[in-house]
Amino acid sequence: MTRGDVPTGPVESELITPEELRLAARNHAMPLEALRYPITPVGLHYLLVHYDIPWIDPAAWRLEVDGRVRRPLSLTLPALRERPGRTIVSTMECAGNGRAELSPRPLSQPWLLEAVGTAEWEGVPLGAVLDEAEPLPDATEVLFTGADRGIEGGIDQHYQRSLPLDEARRDEVVLAHGLNGAPLPPQHGFPLRLLVPGWYGMTNVKWLTRITVLDEPFTGPQQARSYRIRQREEAEGDPVTRMEPRSLMIPPGIPDFLTRRRTVPMGAGLIQGRAWSGWAPVALVEVSTDGGGSWAAAELGGDAASPWAWQSWSYRWEPPAPGEYELCSRATDHAGHVQPTEVVWNLGGYANNAVQRLAVTVVSC
Amino acid sequence: MTRGDVPTGPVESELITPEELRLAARNHAMPLEALRYPITPVGLHYLLVHYDIPWIDPAAWRLEVDGRVRRPLSLTLPALRERPGRTIVSTMECAGNGRAELSPRPLSQPWLLEAVGTAEWEGVPLGAVLDEAEPLPDATEVLFTGADRGIEGGIDQHYQRSLPLDEARRDEVVLAHGLNGAPLPPQHGFPLRLLVPGWYGMTNVKWLTRITVLDEPFTGPQQARSYRIRQREEAEGDPVTRMEPRSLMIPPGIPDFLTRRRTVPMGAGLIQGRAWSGWAPVALVEVSTDGGGSWAAAELGGDAASPWAWQSWSYRWEPPAPGEYELCSRATDHAGHVQPTEVVWNLGGYANNAVQRLAVTVVSC
């Protein structure tokens, strides 16, 4: 590859292109030591912005609700904030988390494993807003449009995603105007974003300006082309929806600055982490200290703040001797989904929930 | 380069190594559209964490002040917060900002141009704390130790940097416990960090645990080895201190998702940005719309919130015709420092304040 070439297909090399670096610099991962916090502090929650963070004047902003409804609405921000609200702690993960671990590597935001976070979202139930607009009998889907605009796959677009009407009416789906007790920060969708607990991040449209009730499937680029599991461009593929189970470890010991390689002192200690799934609460977390050769159950914290939030786990480990170890953990949820050793590769690099592998060097103190 | 090799020297290729990607995923840049905000919202300010964000129990935490002083101090967080405080708006930039634009590219955090942010810091004057400890007559330097620990250049260390005593006693140097009206978030140094307005980011030691007054120069690795401008390993080099002048543009138009390439509509518009220098306030910002062939003065906002904060500028531009343009801006400060077209390469990739170049495609509407 020479300067000026912009590849568009998957890359065989483990070296990262300048385009991927530009995306990685903008889109923030959650450093894994932040797994310590049950609620991710603002600024550590992962962040993916497809285009630019838009500049929105909250006084001029309106949420329009239109399409196949009897009563179109135009709501101001104060009017939304005055409605009966709901606070939900919810874990959110990017559908592309784990993409950079795939080989060949699909060209997009090169997430390693840290595109996750858990926040306390405050908002108004979407179902109540829809009820007020009175969807017509032929309504089947709800389309969400953000103020963010850019070019993707050659198409000039505002970011748009739809949900089936039944999914949009779930009790816990909210239009969020607050995060961790404060107004939404600009980068998380100020003044209003969608929050669909359990679903991958792309669902939760930020900087909402319009909700349109449809009587047919939405076929925009983020729905029909992106966020589908497929192996070939010409395949229709299966839509990405709920988060697959995943467990992540707080990296033990101390890091090397450049390589991030971990050094752990001899002696008894705890391996700790958090696990989640969008399908059902986590039922089991297992840990391996020999690279997946053998597994043992971790102790679950039972401390998930909601059915849609991660829970903590811990595992007591006393390394038998100094040397090199590969630590792994894997989650199983109550719906029976188990985190795999390896996923089936897909073109967009979505939903790669393969087990985390963490190399550590154990040293005498 | 094959899997498993970890290069340590500068890299000729523009392709990024897996080690650099791991650093880029952890260390957050400020997306350039956030130049719109005079005070950078929490979570958009740049962030460099050498090792891990440490876990600190604020009740057990103490700031120790010791070394060449008559009265060593041990201060609790409430005791520090009760002291007479000061609020300072200050722009902070990483000394490595621009590193990834150098060729060959020094191997470290691969910053493009976005390692900057401006915050409202609240804290207590360091001078008053030092006065209370009563430095002995032979005191010459002040050493700051953070709680963050890791291995760097083969050395197991807590992050440590020193300042000359006179510099530490400057009026505007504070021990900061607040950011943008709230307690410091964990990633910005909770519960206490140093803030030295005008100096590059490495000076502002986070997660402070100890301040040690010295009677000789500190020669720890972050002082004597890192953060020095030198062309060869064996050279002593010159220390990196204050921020060189820099102007950055808010990227106009809309981006392409993958390449971040900008598309701008025909018609009159404003090119806007912010500029700063650690040596003196900004005196002049110039803009070029032909890749540096010709320059014209931008209008300065005169709105810097303090002598250590960036100020806004704007420049009216009406592209003569659709096509490709390269936009540039450059700052000159009141001390006479001018932002260069190209800097002299150095081993650590520090202080690269070469002019930003931004390619845009102008299209008919």
Q: Say whether residue A119 is in contact with chain B using an 8 A CB cutoff.
A: no
From CA B124, how far away is CA B129, in angstroms rounded? 8
pTM, rounded to two decimals: 0.96
From CA A315, how far away is CA A157, in angstroms rounded? 47
Q: Tell me the angle at which helices B18-26 and A18-26 cross, rounded to the nearest 10 degrees.
A: 20
Residue A325: C-alpha distances to residues A31, A290, A358, B87 (Å): 21, 6, 8, 48
Per the structure block, which two tokens stand in for A346? 């897909």
Average pLDDT over residues A89-104: 97
The position carrying tokens 């159950």 is A297
From CA B354, how far away is CA B342, in angstroms rounded? 5
* Same-domain status, A150 and A299: no
How far off is chain A from B286, nearest CA to CA, in Å?
25
* Same-domain status, A205 and A255: no
Kindly state whether residue A299 falls inside one of the protein's structural domains. Answer: yes
* Same-domain status, A251 and A358: yes
Q: Name the band, by pLDDT with cuts 50, 70 and 90, for residue A2.
A: very low
Closest residue to B15, CB basis, from A16, A37, A100: A16
Closest residue on chain A to B158 (Cα): A254
Average pLDDT over residues B166-194: 98
Kindly state whether residue A235 falls inside one of the protein's structural domains. Answer: yes
Average pLDDT over residues A225-239: 96
**Which residues span the domain enclosing A340?**
246-363
CATH number at residue B321: 2.60.40.650
CATH number at residue B53: 3.90.420.10
Distance, C-alpha B167 to centroid of its chain: 18
Q: What is the percentage of chain A residues whose pLDDT exceeds 90?
A: 96
Cβ contact B287:B252 at 8 Å: no
Radius of gyration of chain A (CA): 21
How far off is chain A from B267, nearest CA to CA, in Å?
19
* Same-domain status, B230 and B251: no
CB contact (8 A) between residue A151 and residue B13 = no
Sequence-ordered alpha helix ranges (H) in chain A: 18-26, 77-82, 126-133, 165-168, 221-224
Kindly state whether residue B2 falls inside one of the protein's structural domains. Answer: no
Q: Of A239, A259, A290, at which residue does a domain stop?
A: A239
Q: Which residues of A touch B100 (CB under 8 A)?
A: 21
Residue B289: C-alpha distances to residues A185, B67, B251 (Å): 33, 55, 13
* Same-domain status, A158 and A302: no
Average pLDDT over residues A153-176: 97
Per the structure block, which two tokens stand in for B358? 């931004």
* Same-domain status, A62 and A185: yes
Q: Of B239, B264, B297, at which residue does a domain stop?
A: B239
Q: How many domains does chain A have?
A: 2
From CA B126, how far away is CA B26, in angstroms rounded? 30
* Same-domain status, A146 and A192: yes
From CA B149, how far away is CA B340, in angstroms rounded? 36
* Beta bridge mates, A88: A121
Q: Say whether residue B263 is in contact with chain A using an 8 A CB cutoff.
A: yes
Kindly state whether residue A10 falls inside one of the protein's structural domains. Answer: no
* Same-domain status, A215 and A255: no
* Same-domain status, A145 and A271: no
Average pLDDT over residues B202-214: 98
Residue B208: C-alpha distances to residues A259, B8, B77, B194 (Å): 25, 29, 11, 7
User: Torsion over CA of A197, A198, A203 and A204, rounded to 10 degrees?
Assistant: 30
Kindly state whether residue B221 falls inside one of the protein's structural domains. Answer: yes
Q: Name the band, by pLDDT with cuts 50, 70 and 90, for residue A1.
A: very low
Give Cβ neighbours of residue A179 (< 8 Å, ≥ 6 apart).
A42, A119, A120, A121, A122, A185, A188
Rounded to two decimals, the ipTM of the complex is 0.96
Neighbours of B320 (CB within 10 A): 10
From CA B21, how far away is CA B108, in angstroms rounded? 10
Reference A88, options A172, A200, A191; nearest CA is A172
**pLDDT, tens digit (0-9, with 9 covering 90-100), for A310-348:** 999 999 999 999 999 999 999 999 999 999 999 999 999
CB contact (8 A) between residue B23 and residue A260 = yes
**pLDDT, tens digit (0-9, with 9 covering 90-100), for B209-227:** 999 999 999 999 999 999 9
CB contact (8 A) between residue B255 and residue A51 = yes
Average pLDDT over residues A110-130: 98
Kindly state whether residue A194 falls inside one of the protein's structural domains. Answer: yes
CA-based max dimension of chain B: 72
**pLDDT, tens digit (0-9, with 9 covering 90-100), for B104-123:** 999 999 999 999 999 999 99
CB contact (8 A) between residue A45 and residue B43 = yes
Q: Of A239, A260, A275, at which residue does a domain stop?
A: A239
pLDDT at B87 over 80: yes
Cβ contact A219:B116 at 8 Å: no
Kindly state whether residue A1 falls inside one of the protein's structural domains. Answer: no
* Same-domain status, B111 and B139: yes
Kindly state whether residue B154 falls inside one of the protein's structural domains. Answer: yes
* Same-domain status, B261 and B129: no
B305, burial (CB in 10 Å: exposed 0-12, middle 13-18, buried 19+): middle
Helices and strands, counts by H and E, chain A: 5, 22
Closest residue to B53, CB basis, from A29, A34, A150: A34
Cβ contact B292:B328 at 8 Å: yes
* Same-domain status, A124 and A173: yes
Q: Which of residues 9-38 of A touch B (CB under 8 A)?
A: 13-26, 28-29, 31, 33-34, 36-37
A275, burial (CB in 10 Å: exposed 0-12, middle 13-18, buried 19+): buried
pLDDT at A167 over 60: yes
Cβ contact B353:B240 at 8 Å: no
pLDDT given at position B4: 44
